[in-house]
Amino acid sequence: GALGGLGLALGLWRRHTALAASREDEEDKELRQRFMAPPVSGLRELRRRRRELRSRMEVLIMETQAEMCRALAALDPGASFSVDTWERKEGGGGISCVLQDGEVFEKAGVNVSVVSGLLTEEAARQMRSRGKSLKAKDGKLPFCAMGVSSVIHPKNPHVPTMHFNYRYFEIEEADGTKQWWFGGGTDLTPTYLNEEDAVHFHKTLKEACDKHDLKLYPKYKKWCDDYFYIKHRGERRGIGGIFFDDVDSPSKEEVFQFVKSCAKAVVPCYIPIVKKHCHDSFTPEEKLWQQLRRGRYVEFNLVYDRGTKFGLLTPGSRIESILMSLPLTARWEYMHIPPESSKEAEILEVLRNPKDWVH
């Protein structure tokens, strides 16, 4: 009887193990279909640590990448994303998805990176200058950073350029304590002003913020206007959106849920605007103005952007992915000033004096 009971127990255990294995296979298949490429940390590792915030954040950025790529590809069926998986010898890697020379998008990139290793003194100094006091061990700080970052440059000057980025950072100090924070944002850079589009974009972001705290949208909208400021031109890069950095309260879970809401808002805040304008007619003069505005975009990214600077200072970082944000084409004309009361002058006025779009 005892042997029979043991046989039954073994049979049940085998069946349970087989069921668990087939369930894992199904999950793997589903995850593979959900993402643009296998995740940097590997499916098994993500499943093993599925409750840890690092793993949940990695799944979120992978999903955000896939959602945006699929939404863009659906609007530009003749073009396709090149999916480029890369490894960083110091630890981690990433997935770069880039579409070039489409009918609708001149260049669209959606990158994911998950990197870890030791932070250099220079990179740590940049963080300390933002008020983070970090205690290094032998001048080194173990860190883990992950994020999704996207810049979309459409062909048509009536479709705005859009950028978003959501990231998580963790640092282990000499005494073993971990410091963590989130950063990110979504912002719009139109060549010509369309008030209806500006309102739709800002309202969608405001709704995502309002689910968590009514104070967040006004605070992060102002932060966005202040951050994307090209000092030497006295104008903003675009008409803003939201931007935040170094957010480490009220709790890890609450900030993660907020970031998740923001990441889920990127497709609905932008894709309807592309659909609305991607077949608008435009003149060579309007295309020229778009090229000049892109020149300003490049100036901001190379001179002021914190993410670009940090990327260039991180050992083993992938330069192609960091500079993916630059447009395929741009133009710098000497002393170009648009005529007064023109559509070109109208957008400049808003870039010099940010507006409240939602009240």
Q: 285 CB contacts (<8 Å, ≥6 apart)?
A: none
Residue 138 falls in which region: left (phi positive, over 0), alpha (psi -120 to 50) or beta: left
Exactly one of 153, 163, 212, 277 is catalytic; which is it? 163
Count of CB atoms within 10 A of residue 119's CB? 24
Q: Is 163 a catalytic residue?
A: yes
Contact 275, 269 (CB under 8 A): no
d(CA 63, CA 328): 26
Token duo for residue 191: 């060549």
Written as one letter, the residue type at 238 is G
HEC string for the chain = CHHHHHHHHHHHHHHHHHHHHHHHHHHHHHHHHHCCCCCCCCHHHHHHCCCCHHHHHHHHHHHHHHHHHHHHHHHCCCCCCEEEEEECCCCEEEEEEEEECCCCEEEEEEEEEEEEEEECHHHHHHHHCCCCCCCCECCEEEEEEEEEEEEEEECCCCCCEEEEEEEEEEEECCCCCEEEEEEEEEEEECCCCCHHHHHHHHHHHHHHHHCCCCCHHHHHHHHHHHHCEECCCCEECCCCEEEEEEECCCCHHHHHHHHHHHHHCHHHHHHHHHHHHCCCCCCHHHHHHHHHHHHHHHHHHHHCCHHHHHHHHCCCCCHHHHHHHCCCCCCCCCCCCCCCCCHHHHHHHHHHCCCCCCC
Catalytic residues: 163
